[in-house]
Each structure stands twice: as structure tokens, then as C-alpha cells.
Amino acid sequence: MSLRLLFRRILACLAVWVCMAAAVWGQQRPHEWTPFIDPMAFDPDFRFFAPADLGDFGLPDHPQTGWFAQYNRMYIYMTRPQLEASFTEGDFTWGNRFDIGYMTEENRGWWLSGIHIDGPNAYDILVIPRINRDEPDDRDDPGAQQQNPPIFPPQDRNDVVTGSRDFRQHNSLNVADLSGFELNRVWRLDQLHYGGVLEPFVGFRYNKFQDFTRRESYRRLDPDLGFPSSPFPNEDDTLEEITSSLSRWDNHMVGGQLGIRWSEQKSRWLLSSDLRVFALQNFQAFNNTTDVLQVLYDGVGTDTDVTTEKITRTGSASHNSEFVYGVDVRAEAAFELTRDISLSLGVQVMHFAQGIARGNDPNHNEEDLTLVGGTIGLNLNR
């Protein structure tokens, strides 16, 4: 049996189980199968800075109940698209994770978690001299420019980074971002002999993964012969052509997950880890825009002026869908500063085993994706 078929059957069984459980419990305790609850239901005393309650022998008498919240700053390593020559490498970026939920005295609760990873933004940049090496009108006194700015298009000015008439050719290596949320129904089992606590959960999961690919090229043409000439300026180099192609994949993944969380108090330290196994349907959308800019000069050199500019834009789009499955593993060690406030360090690994669309090929939409990194967090009543 293939892994794809196995996970589809697991997801189908999960859906049936959730529907049956909701029907049974909905008749008995309908309020428990929605996450909505009175914010003051747990009668909080708001003594967030009260001394930590470690119980006898450094072990708490009972796990925490009531509202909890957590914020984590993430430093994450993300693998590159397979269409890149350096696809075996990856790049680091920053992200944020938020958690909020509650646990009742009956050992049942809800847990909402959100995540956003912005980047990475890794490019290979090549600086290429343009035919007109300098724009003298763009080198006047900055104060005079503000009063009488040069009358020519911004693309004809000197490059703000190099200070000369250069084209910085960008080719993306790894440009993407990931965001999403999950809503889980949580149960807390009886405390284990040495103080450990197990909390199985089942929930809904949504992730949006965007991948961007940028490809640029530069060439000089001999307008009389109609084919590429020498790459170095000469009397025939009066026409240049810049091609810029930007592709974007939107991956919208919707589905369910099963998970379990383990935690154990050790004096002021709370050690915890949780595992999620998810199955998602990925609805994919592909867009590409290609611009070709042709610039004609009246010669070669510093004082050369632009005679004509012509830009041609083309675009394409497509859509598809794929099945995605994977795992999400987290582990943390939190140090209690007060009764309700703690600081934590942790790691997180997310692996989407298949069905992720990346790159600039609309037919290449079944990649895997791995993210690995560390977290530092601030916890409230967790």
C-alpha cells in the first residue's frame, strides 16, 4: 500500500470519527464542542507575578488549568526548490508563532496556534555595466536635484547602489514565505506516575506557502545584424535588451491532523514536546509575468543619450491540486519566573513530504519542503 493511499484512508477515518463523536457529544454537552467560552469562566485572580507554586518535592500537585498563551520568535532553515542547481542547500530566516487556548477542570479544552515565516529572500546578484556608463545629470548637487529634478525616467538614472549606470541582474535562489493556523480539540489524560502529562488532540489545519522565482538576463545587440554582438562596448553596441521573469506559486493547504503533547514539571523547569501528523489537500495557483525592455542609444559612452525604449509584457497562469502529508514536531524547555510567566527555548521541525509547488515550471508541483529551526518564547500559564 502506498503512503499516499494510507494517509488518505487515515484522513477519511478521522473525518468519520470526528462526525460521530460530534453527533454523540453534541447531544450530551453541546457547549464543549465549540471553542467559545466565557472569558471569565475560570475566575482568574490576575496575580501573574505571584511566586511559582512548585508543590511537594518540586512537583506541582496538578497541571495548570484556565487560559494559556504563548509567543515564540523563530529562526528557521528552509530548503531550496528542486529546480535550483543548489537545491541540496537551504537558507535561514525569521518567523513568529502564537498559541492561545484553555483547559477546563474536566481536562478538556481548545488550542489555537498561528505561524508566519517571512522569507528567506536569497538571491544571486550579478552587476553588469550598461552601454551608457554614467548619467551626468544624475550627479548634480542633491539639493539642486530636489528643486529641479532631472527630466528623464527613473530607469535611466545611475544605480543607487553602485553609483553608475549598471544593471543588477537578480536570480532567486530561495524566496518564499509560510503562514497558517490550526485549531485543536484537546483532552488531558490522567497524570502519569512520575508527573508526566499526555494531551492527545485532533484538529483542523491550514497552511499557505508562497514561492517566488525571479529570472533576469541582459544582452547587447547589433541592430544592423540582428544578433548578439560582443559583450563589451564598441561602436556597434547601441541596443540593449533586459529580460525579467517573475513567477509565483500559491499553495493553499487545507485538512486535518492528529497529535499528542507530553509535558513534565522538573522543579522550575517544564519540559514538553508535541507531535502532529497531518493530511492536507493543496490547491495550487501559478502566475508568471515576463517583461522584455529594449533600449536604443545614440552611441556609446558617458554622454550617450537614450533614443528609444520599448517594453513588452507577457503573462501566463494555471492551477492544480495535490495531496500533502507530513509531520510537525516541537520540543521546549520552559523556566518558570513566576507562577504564570515563563521563558522557553525550543526546536521545531516541519516536513511536507510531497505535493508542494515551487519554481518557475507550472508542471513541477510535487516537491517536498523541510523547515528546521530554534525558538525562544514567552509563556503565560503554560
CA atoms of 382 and 70, how far apart (whole Å): 7
pLDDT at 283: 97
CA atoms of 72 and 272, how far apart (whole Å): 15
What letters, b where the CB count within 10 A reaches 16 and e where it falls short, cover 235-272? eebbbbebbbbbbbbebbbebbbbbbbebbbeeeebeb
pLDDT at 157: 76
CA atoms of 247 and 215, how far apart (whole Å): 9
Residue 143: how many other CB atoms lie within 10 Å: 7
Here the cell at position 53 is 507554586
pLDDT at 140: 58
CA atoms of 380 and 71, how far apart (whole Å): 9
Which of helix, strand or coil describes residue 161?
A: coil
**Tens of pLDDT, residues 143-201:** 544 555 666 677 677 777 887 888 889 999 999 999 999 999 999 998 887 788 999 99
Closest C-alpha among 195, 174, 20, 203 to residue 86: 174
CA atoms of 9 and 352, how far apart (whole Å): 18
Confidence of residue 63 (pLDDT cuts 50, 70, 90): confident
Confidence of residue 320 (pLDDT cuts 50, 70, 90): very high
What letter does residue 150 receive in the DSSP assignment?
Answer: -
C-alpha R_g of the chain: 29
CA-CA-CA-CA torsion sign (143, 153, 171, 119):
positive
pLDDT at 332: 96
CA atoms of 108 and 102, how far apart (whole Å): 8
CA atoms of 86 and 79, how far apart (whole Å): 10
**Tens of pLDDT, residues 244-286:** 999 999 999 999 999 999 999 888 899 999 999 999 999 999 9
